[in-house]
Amino acid sequence: MRRLREQQGWTQEEAAHRCSMTTRLYQRVEGEEANVTFTSLARLCAGFDVDVVRLFKPAKEEKLQKQN
């Protein structure tokens, strides 16, 4: 998520707002300190306007696809 957030040029606060969650929860999810509920997952996908596969796609895999 950090990669997606930084690609958008968003702060953690802005990402949290767009995902309809508190900044602290967003920080914990991005830092892999919190378990993600289905509700949080749906909010993250909506906030970033991506499907669940893209949300969790490894950065290395995404780079390879762009190069091809």
The pair of structure tokens assigned to 44 is 């993250």
pLDDT digits (tens, 9 = 90+) for 4-47: 999 999 999 999 999 999 999 999 999 999 999 999 999 999 99
How far apart CA 14 and CA 16 sit, in angstroms, is 5
What's residue 10's pLDDT?
Answer: 98
Q: How many domains does the chain have?
A: 1
Contacts of 10 (CB under 8 A, 6+ apart): 18
Range of the domain at 45: 2-67
Q: Is the CA virtual torsion 16, 20, 5, 2 positive or negative?
A: positive
- pTM for the structure as a whole: 0.78
Instruction: Check which CATH number belongs to the domain holding 12 and give it.
Output: 1.10.260.40
